[in-house]
Amino acid sequence: MSDNSDSPTGEKNTMEHYIDGKLKLEHVEPTTHRGESITHRNMSVATDGGRQYSTGGARRMSEWDAMRIAKEGGVEIDEEIELLEIELRENPVKHGFFSPVIKFQNPAHFTWLLVAFASMGGLLSGIDQSLISGANLFMPQSLHLDTSQVSLVASGVPLGAIGGALLLGPVNEAVGRRMAIITSLILYTIGAALEAGAINFGMMVAGRVILGLGVGLEGGTVPIYVAESVARKYRGNLVSLYQFNIALGEVFGYVVAAIFVNVKSGSWRYMLGSSLVFSTIMLIGILFMPESPRFLMHKGRTLEAFNVWKRIRGTDLQENREEFFVMRHAVTAEFENKKSRSGSFAWLDFFTVPRARRSIVYANIMIFLGQFTGINAIMYYMSTLLNQVGFNAKQAVFMSLVGGGSLLLGTIPAIFYMERFGRRFWACAMLPGFFIGLIIIGCSYLIDNKTHTGAAEGVYITGLILYEGFFGSYACLTWVIPAEVYPTYLRSYGMETSDVTLFFCSWLVTYFFADMQRAMSRIGLTLGFYGGIAVLGWFYQLLFMPETKNKTLEEIDVLFSQPTSELVRQNLSGVVENCSHLVHGRWGRVFKPSPESPLPEAHKDSRVGPVGKDVQG
């Protein structure tokens, strides 16, 4: 923001904004001045099926006005919070049998508990990937499956997950984030029971597809649920816990497979049935978790949203009060703008509203890069691939722990450092690392594993460790980015598209893995196809990836309102600067923690939301 004139508050108020993709300067007067009071409307309470929500309160204002007031520390924030406190005391929110309440004196403890149970969904997804890898060594012979049937069984979960992802938007809009997760766990439990008790090919595929429905529904809902509930400074780290749990689940799965590998009869049934233990624990835990406050606000249930906010975030810290204030007015403005377009279809905004269009393109390209660099194909067929380079069946199961463990260890740096260094730096630094791993894996195929078995196995394992380790850190972005870039009123639908993209790409690389390996050769698939996409993805990230570090979800709305050409210009400038530092040996400047990117400002009268047509490009 550039400032040229003084306001009565001592703030300068010439603002940069974009209109039709062009940068303009305009002198604006702030809506309110610091310390001034605002006129309140009468408070009233409406009920919806026994639930109370506010229909009154402070006057309506745009998202931009709310963000400006929060930045200036206006008294309006305290007044609104106080009014909601009074209303909540007079009209306490009721809780039913299926929504029990637990409270902590420190709301931060509740946040950690919420994230822990929600992120267990990643554990279920990871466990399935590694369990089927071990089961594939014994199940085909037991059920008399041919190669194409084995491929369909392995890809049954990603195929079912596409259906689960298609349910994500409608289910989330109808019953909310929490109930969507509970529904996914019920589906997962039914599917796991069917596959463990399967007596033929049809029953096994049915179980895998139903289990996939649960994985698809849960995989897109959990990151949204966490992103909408936690503080912005921890959002990237805590959403990354979902990927950590996927990796942890894969390790657990390999451990379970190793435990049952010596069972003489039906070892694969014990492997696949063990996931029921984890789904039951998560189901019990999630029953005690509240609904996302942003979803409640999205549905007009302001009082319930405030009640949940007090439990999981609290209102003692000023930043939490400011974030709730901005969230309330941002979501209300989106809802009002959406109502003004009666009869329109929300999905069309992904094509007609530039801010929404940018987010869906960006999020789904990042998902594509995460899948078409081969991770799920390698995870689902890890035991088989290890068997190909010289390990016997038992050794392959035990050595799979090396790959799964590397993926797990790779996610740990992302949890602690992604928020410090930034999303953009993290993506651009991690992708070359797992590309080098692919090169080494490809080189291992050049070694004759019959005459030089030890060398082939050693080179392959080295490449696998590098690939899985760096990908573990990179993969966190494929959950963090889609969960935070969509506007609130489109977040369910946007995450649905990302979830469908994720599992459709996963199904493609898994189902066609054997055919692609035969057609391209092992080295051609690993290095030519997966490695080539990694190289193209790296250049895409350098040019088109924005930095969303330490921004509220409402501030990200404004970030995506700038034209793509402006983002590319900023990124190119940063690339040139970093190249100069590298050439002159100033390594510390290249690898230092990323500063927060400046927030591109929108016109104060523009609408960042359903009808925000004023920003093009």
Q: What is the pLDDT of residue 56?
A: 45
- 278 compared with 14, residue with greater pLDDT: 278
pTM over 0.85: no
Q: What is the pLDDT of residue 600?
A: 55
SS (H, E, C) 392-409: CHHHHHHHHHHHHHHHHH
- Angle at CA of residue 534, ends 427 and 470, nearest 5°: 50
Of the listed ranges 92-96, 189-193, 449-453, 457-461, the least confidently predicted one is 92-96
- 397 compared with 454, residue with greater pLDDT: 454
Is 606 a residue whose pLDDT tops 50? no
Structural contact between residues 561 and 18, judged by C-beta atoms closer than 8 angstroms: yes
Is 20 a residue whose pLDDT tops 60? no
Q: What is the pLDDT of residue 594?
A: 57
pLDDT digits (tens, 9 = 90+) for 551-582: 878 788 888 888 888 889 988 988 888 788 77
- Angle at CA of residue 231, ends 251 and 72, nearest 5°: 160
Beta-ladder partners of 14: 27
The tokens for 436 are 């080098």
Q: How far apart are CA 580 and CA 586, in angstroms?
A: 8
Is 143 exposed, middle or buried, given 0-12, 13-18 or 19+ CB atoms closer than 10 A? Answer: middle
Is 78 exposed, middle or buried, given 0-12, 13-18 or 19+ CB atoms closer than 10 A? Answer: middle
From the CB of residue 420, how many other CB atoms can be counted at a distance below 10 Å?
Answer: 15
Residue with tokens 């994230």: 115
Q: How far apart are CA 468 and CA 375, in angstroms?
A: 8
Is 8 strand, coil or helix? Answer: coil
Q: What share of the chain is helix, strand, coil (3-state, %, to 5)?
A: 70, 5, 25
In the structure, what pLDDT confidence band is assigned to residue 206 with cuts at 50, 70 and 90? Answer: very high
Side-chain half-sphere CA neighbours of 350 within 13 A: 21
pLDDT digits (tens, 9 = 90+) for 286-324: 888 888 888 898 888 889 989 888 888 888 888 888 888
Structural contact between residues 180 and 217, judged by C-beta atoms closer than 8 angstroms: yes
Structural contact between residues 111 and 312, judged by C-beta atoms closer than 8 angstroms: yes
Q: What is the pLDDT of residue 339?
A: 59
For 338-351, b where at least 16 C-beta lie within 10 A, e where not — what string?
beeeeeeebeebbe
Instruction: State residue 19 phi and psi, 5-degree precision.
Output: -130, 120
Side-chain half-sphere CA neighbours of 109 within 13 A: 5
End-to-end CA distance of the chain: 20
Side-chain half-sphere CA neighbours of 495 within 13 A: 33
Instruction: State residue 470 phi and psi, 5-degree precision.
Output: -70, -35
Residue 462 backbone zone (phi > 0: left; psi -120 to 50: alpha; other: beta):
alpha
The tokens for 43 are 């408070």
Is 40 a residue whose pLDDT tops 80? no
The tokens for 495 are 């995450």
CA distances (Å), 431 to each of 193, 194, 540, 613, in order? Answer: 38, 38, 11, 35
Q: How far apart are CA 356 and CA 338, in angstroms?
A: 14
Q: How far apart are CA 459 and CA 224, in angstroms?
A: 39
Is 416 exposed, middle or buried, given 0-12, 13-18 or 19+ CB atoms closer than 10 A? Answer: exposed
- 180 compared with 39, residue with greater pLDDT: 180
Q: How far apart are CA 115 and CA 104, in angstroms?
A: 15
Q: How far apart are CA 16 and CA 223, in angstroms?
A: 33
Q: What is the mean pLDDT of residues 160-164?
A: 89
